[in-house]
């Protein structure tokens, strides 16, 4: 299989090429730009056929054009970041409500002001209620694999929902790493052409989509999306397993567990920072710490059952949030804690706010967090629930 040293953004672009995407509508924003530049290059070099590239005048229009194209039956892709994603917000709801499996890469970037182009998860997590599936990639390989799986999962007849593949600004988007890419025939076999739920080109039996839903019906349409999300968990696991069997990289777990079997303390988080955490786990284990890592791959739908199984077996969970919901707490922490409330699993949970706006999380930081967690577990009580860990004291 062809291995290439490429950036996360190029990994995303190659995945769209191998997925035989038919329409791309996108608007440039740092650090997403090299994705759409690469796609344009594919077209310019004649490396792709039947791909229409629509250079729209805003992100809002990018998503709107993707929605129109997807409703016309095309496999559709876009990419954005931060402010662009926020501008799309209205249409994110639209894509999900109209049940269109658009796939988008969001390069996690901090929201302004102050202006920042660096890594932060608040942009994508602010879109959590739009009905999009969300996959957080740890490395460039996961960006590539994630985009391929996203089409298969989103387009599944039981799902029909849009999927967001999320990668970190610069840490992944612009950092070169080995990506093991698939042969075109392998992808074609894994991902056949899209069979849409409906298409506007069905002229003999014309559909109208997205009409007014009165109070007598709206509720059921929402339930259908909720059910499709629930169904998506099964499909994610199926597709993740198939991917593993075919290509050797298994994605059947929605939460990837790393050395958690005998761990007392587990670090939980999403995205590229979990790479550092896994590295730290290895080092800390050699120093005698009983620690492990739980990488939440899929934030939507949330793997409630997997979290419960993990929580039953550990004493403490340190949730590392590269995001924050003002007036509340880190978003992953908030969700994980809420899920466990009605269960018998009651590990001590603490929220560490880390890495906002691209600040580095180092192995040393993870050691300090481990020491802090150890103390808390020994004492049996929290020093504080939300820790702005990096704050310049």
Partner 1 sequence: MELPADVKKRLTLPAEEHFYAGHTACQGCGAALGLRYVLKVYGNKTIFTIPACCSTIIAGPWPYSAFNAPLFHTAFETTGAVIGGIEAALKAKGYKVKGEDGVMVVGWAGDGGTADIGLQALSGFLERGHDGLYIMYDNEAYMNTGIQRSSSTPYGAWTTNTPGGKKRFLERKPKKKVIDIVIAHKPAYAATASVAYPEDFMRKLKKAKAIKGPSFIQLFAPCPTGWRSPTDKTIELARLAVQTAYFPLFEYENGKYKLNMPSPKKEPKPLEEYLKLQGRFKYMTKEDMEILQEWVLKEWEELKKKAEIFG
Partner 2 sequence: MAESPFKADIEKVQKEYGEKMTPGAIVYIPGSSVVNKTGGWRVFMPKFDKDKCIRCFMCYTLCPEPAIYLDEESYPVFDYDYCKGCGICANECPTKAIEMVRETK
Residue ranges in contact with partner 2 by CB under 8 A: 97-100, 160, 197-198, 205-211, 213, 217, 220-221, 224-225, 228
- Read off the DSSP letter of residue 354: -
Count the alpha carbons within 13 Å of 206 in the hemisphere toward its beta carbon.
Answer: 2
- 186-245 residues in contact with partner 1 (CB under 8 A) are 200-203, 206-214, 217
Question: Please, what is the minimum distance in Å from the beta carbon of residue 70 to partner 1?
Answer: 8
CB of 53 to partner 1, least distance (A): 8
- Residue closer to partner 2 by CB (options 198, 308) is 198
**In whole angstroms, what is the distance from residue 63 CA to residue 214 CA?**
26
Residue 99 binding target from partner 2, partner 1, none, CB below 5 to 8 Å by type = partner 2
Beta strand 177-180 with 3-6 is: antiparallel
For 287, residues 6+ apart whose C-beta sits below 8 A from its C-beta are 367
Q: Between residue 54 and residue 113, which ones bind partner 1 under the rule CB under 8 A?
A: 54-58, 60-62, 64-74, 76, 90-91, 94, 98
Nearest by Cα to 54 from 43, 45, 185 = 43
Cβ atoms of 120 and 110 closer than 8 Å? yes
- In the list partner 1, partner 2, none, the entry touching 362 (Cβ below 5 to 8 angstroms by class) is none
* C-alpha distances in Å from residue 196, one per residue of 40, 74, 317: 26, 8, 41
Q: Is the Cβ of residue 84 or residue 146 nearer to partner 1 in the bound state?
A: 84
Task: State in angstroms the smallest separation of the CB of 163 from partner 1.
Answer: 18
| 5 touches partner 1 by CB under 8 A | no
68 binds, among partner 1, partner 2, none (CB under 5 to 8 A by kind): partner 1
Distance in Å, CB of 213 to partner 1, minimum: 5
Closer to partner 2 by Cβ: residue 176 or 218: 218
Buried b (16+ CB within 10 A) or exposed e, 343-373: eebebbbbbbbbbbbbeebeeebbbebbebb
Rounded to the nearest whole angstrom, what is the least distance from the CB of residue 48 to partner 1 in the complex?
Answer: 11
| Least distance to partner 1, CB of residue 231, Å | 22
Nearest to 67 by CA among 34, 86, 90, 40: 90
Q: How far apart are CA 273 and CA 277, in angstroms?
A: 6
Q: Tell me the C-alpha to C-alpha distance, in Å, between residue 370 and each of 80, 271, 318, 322, 367.
A: 35, 20, 8, 17, 5
Q: Which of 211/391 has CB closer to partner 1? A: 211
Q: Work out what residue 203 binds among partner 2, partner 1, none; the CB cut-off runs from 5 to 8 Å by kind.
A: partner 1
Which of 19, 26, 29, 51 lies at the binding interface for partner 1 (CB under 8 A)? 51
Binding site for partner 1 (CB under 8 A): 22-23, 25, 50-52, 54-58, 60-62, 64-74, 76, 90-91, 94, 98, 200-203, 206-214, 217
């Amino acid at each position: 299989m062809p291995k290439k040293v490429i950036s996360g953004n190029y990994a995303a672009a190659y995945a769209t090429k191998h997925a035989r995407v038919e329409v791309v509508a996108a608007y440039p924003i740092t650090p997403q730009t090299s994705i759409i530049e690469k796609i344009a290059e594919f077209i310019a070099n004649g490396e792709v056929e039947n791909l229409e590239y629509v250079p729209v005048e805003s992100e809002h229009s990018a998503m709107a054009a993707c929605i129109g194209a997807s409703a016309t039956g095309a496999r559709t892709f876009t990419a954005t970041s931060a402010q662009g994603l926020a501008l799309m917000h209205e249409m994110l709801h639209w894509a999900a409500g109209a049940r269109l499996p658009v796939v988008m890469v969001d390069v996690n970037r901090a929201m302004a002001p102050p202006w920042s182009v660096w890594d932060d998860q608040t942009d994508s997590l602010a879109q959590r209620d739009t009905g999009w599936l969300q996959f957080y990639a740890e490395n460039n390989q996961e960006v590539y694999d994630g985009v391929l799986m996203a089409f298969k999962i989103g387009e599944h007849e039981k799902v029909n929902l849009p999927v967001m593949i999320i990668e970190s600004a610069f840490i992944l988007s612009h950092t070169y790493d080995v990506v093991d890419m698939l042969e075109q025939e392998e992808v074609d076999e894994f991902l056949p052409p899209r069979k849409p739920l409906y298409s506007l080109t069905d002229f003999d039996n014309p559909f109208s989509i997205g009409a007014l839903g009165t109070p007598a019906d709206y509720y059921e349409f929402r339930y259908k999306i909720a059910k499709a999300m629930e169904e998506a968990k099964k499909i994610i696991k199926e597709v993740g397993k198939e991917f593993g069997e075919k290509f050797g990289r298994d994605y059947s777990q929605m939460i990837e567990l790393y050395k958690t079997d005998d761990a007392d303390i587990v670090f939980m988080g999403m995205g590229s920072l979990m790479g550092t955490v896994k590295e730290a786990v290895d080092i800390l284990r050699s120093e005698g710490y009983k620690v492990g890592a739980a990488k939440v791959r899929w934030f939507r739908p949330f793997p409630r059952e997997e979290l419960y199984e993990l929580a039953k077996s550990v004493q403490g969970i340190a949730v590392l949030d590269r995001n924050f919901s003002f007036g509340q707490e880190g978003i992953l922490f908030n969700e994980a804690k809420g899920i466990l409330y009605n269960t018998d699993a009651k590990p001590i949970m603490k929220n560490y706010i880390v890495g906002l706006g691209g600040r580095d999380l180092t192995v040393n930081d993870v050691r300090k967090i481990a020491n802090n967690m150890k103390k808390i577990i020994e004492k049996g009580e929290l020093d504080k629930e939300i820790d702005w860990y990096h704050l310049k004291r």
